[in-house]
Amino acid sequence: MRKRIGVHRTLAKPAVDVRTALFLFSDTGGGHRTAAQAIAAALSRMSPADSLRAEMVDVFAACGVFPLREGIKSYGTLLKVRPSPYSALYHLSNGRTRTRIMTEFAKPFMRGKFRRLLARMAPSMLVSVHPLLNGITRESIDSMRMQVPFVTVITDLVTIHHSWTADAPADHYIVASPEAKRVCLARDIPESRVHDLGLPIREGFHPVADSAEAKRALGLDVTRKTLLMMAGGEGGGRLFAILRHIAPRVRALGLQLVAIAGRNLSLQRRLQKMAAKFGPDTRVVGFVDNVAEYMRASDALLTKAGPGAICEAAACGLPIIVCDYISGQEAGNLAYVESREAGIVALEPEAVDDCIRRLFGADGSLLKRLREGALASARPRAADDIARFLLRLM
């Protein structure tokens, strides 16, 4: 308990301005918000609350107007449609000139509210974790004559859309891998402004000495190997078709399946209806906040090639089976996983079935080797490293 005399001393000191680190993101998928949350939490751990405040704003929701706001909201819907038109939109917009045109088109639908937001919050630093916010942020900083550092945290591992880097608007770029750094340098961003610090992930993603205890904490069967399936925050992709194909293999090997369907309620209902086909105690859930607990309790992860899932699984030493990816932004993640021997890429149902047979039906050596590769590639302290970098800038 703080002594009263301590309070008196605090009150007697001259007032000190509280610095504000303002994180700009959008809820398109789960990765942008998660990255911002991880860095903000690290900053809070490292700096007293009375000297630094980390604030997060979903810019398109807070500042966007029709039709921009509604267009951004359609991201999740586009991913759930099969075949998805998203990949075509990604490739059509991926170029320096095309990105400039797209950014200029969007600015009038958020410029006024965004500048009022910056004026009201008077941040000491701006941190963007979304590619479509970089241009408007630089323009606003310059037009408002704000003397604050502007940092962009690129949340893609390998394949980077030009909207992240066009015209190099940020003072500094934080990237998640050596591959991402090479892309930035190839686009003429000076090396002094590009910092490979890893992809920020939340606390709790770490290996456990006893997976049985982790299983027990979640009410899972401690005597069985657990296969975790994740469909990303939006629950997109073709995981339902893959799971339907591998159901006999899962049941024959006696695996316990845990399926996290994300925000896709339709996928969750469909998986719940066929849960019995995977054997007893199959668990199907929607969007959850305790992904780390499920990863620590699992023996392998079946998922699409989302950067967050890849890095979180690596931090837990969890081998990954990549069975799907978003064309464009996640294409390079396939080679990323394989080059680090952190998992296996199996893009067809038959290949996934064979992969599960090799992982769980043999002597366990492959599972062990992939676990070691995952741990070797992990950067679990990336959020702390980024937070320290930001503190130095401020």
Residue 79 has pLDDT above 90, yes or no: no
pLDDT at 271 over 60: yes
Better-scored residue on pLDDT, 264 or 121: 121
Query: Measured between alpha carbons, how far apart are the two ends of the chain, in Å?
Result: 31
User: What would the pLDDT profile of 288-302 be if each residue is shown by its tens digit?
Assistant: 999 999 999 999 999
pLDDT of residue 9: 33
pLDDT at 81 over 90: no
* Domain range 14-199+381-393, CATH architecture: 3-Layer(aba) Sandwich (3.40)
Q: How confident is the model at residue 8 (pLDDT cuts 50, 70, 90)?
A: very low
pLDDT class of 2 with cuts at 50, 70, 90: very low
Domain boundaries defined on the chain: 14-199+381-393, 211-377
Q: How far apart are CA 193 and CA 84, in angstroms?
A: 35
ω into 83 cis (within 30 of 0): yes
Q: Residue 21's beta-bridge partner residues?
A: 54, 125
**Whole-model pTM?**
0.91
- Is the pLDDT reported for residue 349 higher than 90? yes
| Residue in the structure block whose two tokens are 């893009």 | 347
HSE (CB half, 13 Å, CA atoms) of 219?
4
Q: What share of the chain is helix, strand, coil (3-state, %, to 5)?
A: 50, 15, 35
CATH 3.30.450.20 applies to domain 211-377: no
